[in-house]
Amino acid sequence: MKANPIAVLLVGLLAVAAAMPARAHGPLFSPAPETIFKGGTEVTLGFHTAKTTGGGDREKEYEVFVGAEYGLTADWEIGIEVPYAWKKSNGLDANGVGDIVLDTKYQFWRRDLPGAQYKAAVFFKTKLPTGDDGGQPRIGSGSTDVIGGLATGYESRRWYWFVSGVYRVNTEGAGGLEKGDRQFLNVVGGVRPVLTEYDEPDTVVMLEVNWERAGRDDLNGAGLADTGGWELFLSPVVWWTYRQVAIRGGVQFPIAEGLNGNQATSDYRARIEFIYHF
């Protein structure tokens, strides 16, 4: 059975869009305004999986990725993320290095208070067409895409909140397919149940609400009916940290959708990351 390239690409694009690196206790499935300290390096080893079904398709993806961020100043960081993906689509399998993402973030506003911090940042990413886009299912999209957005938030000893908006411009990729541009809106709340000391393990729990909308895809100049629309996710996230080490994980559950036509919808997405600050 032939894989549905649209559904496969949808999973891949969502996975990359979800790969928003964060500093400190930022959200997992959406961008955060944090930047790493000047001269600091953050290395992330992560695992991501996603499953979509419907419209006669069944797709599953597993992805391992390595990311690194470097603080040029306390407000400005640059980074890279290299994924390796395994994809299953309607009985077909493929694996390989995925699309590499380069990113930069600038924290343009910060207000520090005793035990609390407000901040806001702008960020840009470029997804390069480095993944194999010739096989089935496709590991890479074959397109160079640009992602930009704004994130703001508040962090205190007890409470957290974040709000962000992201716009993704997709270009024509493999097989003449141009994915529709995507928009993301995110609202996040979090709490630290127990206030620990600096040299003790620390736990924070968060709940994200992630809204995603995609425009219709375009194949060789013609719009595709069964593409585009929106999905809404509820995403519990847990952070565990000890000094410069962090482990965080979460699951995105779809709670509503308004996808166009007959297409695969998300069943779930899960992600776990191991983060180390040098």
Partner 1 sequence: MHRVLRTTAFALSLFLLPVIAFAAPAQYQLRVDGLACPFCAYGIEKELNRTDGVESIRIDINAGTVTVTMAEGATMTEAEAARIVEDAGFTLGGFEEVRAQASTKPE
Contacts of 89 (CB under 8 A, 6+ apart): 3, 4, 7, 8, 57, 58, 59, 60, 136, 137
Q: Which is nearer to partner 1, 195 or 256 (CB)?
A: 195
Choose which of 91, 114, 193, 221 interacts with partner 1 (CB under 8 A). Answer: 114
Q: Is 243 in the site for partner 1 (CB under 8 A)?
A: yes
Q: What is the four-CA torsion angle of 14, 17, 19, 25, rounded to 10 degrees?
A: -120
> 126 vs 156, which CB is nearer to partner 1?
156
Tell me how far, at minimum, the Cβ of 202 lies from partner 1, in Å: 5
Task: Using the minimum distance from each CB to partner 1, give the nearer residue, 244 or 262.
Answer: 244
Closest approach of partner 1 to the CB of residue 118, in Å: 9
CB count in 10 Å sphere of residue 258: 10
The answer to whether 96 and 85 have CB atoms below 8 angstroms apart is yes
Per-position x/- string for 44-73, each x denoting binding to partner 1 as judged by CB under 8 A, each - no binding = -----------------------------x
Chain residues 82-101 in contact with partner 1, contact rule CB under 8 A: none
Matching residue, tokens 């609400």: 209
Give one DSSP letter per residue of 173-231, joined into a string.
Answer: -GGGEEPPPEEEEEEEEEE-SS---TTS-EEEEEEEEEEEEEPPPEETTEE-TT--EEE
Nearest distance from C-beta of residue 23 to partner 1, angstroms: 7
What tokens were used for 198? 């600096």
- Using CA atoms in the order 195, 198, 203, 208, what is the torsion angle rounded to 10 degrees? 90
Give min distance, CB of 47 to partner 1, in A. 20
Contact (Cβ atoms closer than 8 angstroms) between residue 66 and residue 55: no
- Tell me: does residue 203 bind partner 1 (CB under 8 A): no
Question: Residues 249-278 vs partner 1: string with x where CB under 8 A?
Answer: ----------------------------x-
Q: Is 206 in the site for partner 1 (CB under 8 A)?
A: no
List interacting residues with partner 1 (CB under 8 A): 23-25, 34-40, 73-75, 110, 112-117, 155-157, 192, 195-200, 202, 204, 239, 241-244, 246, 277
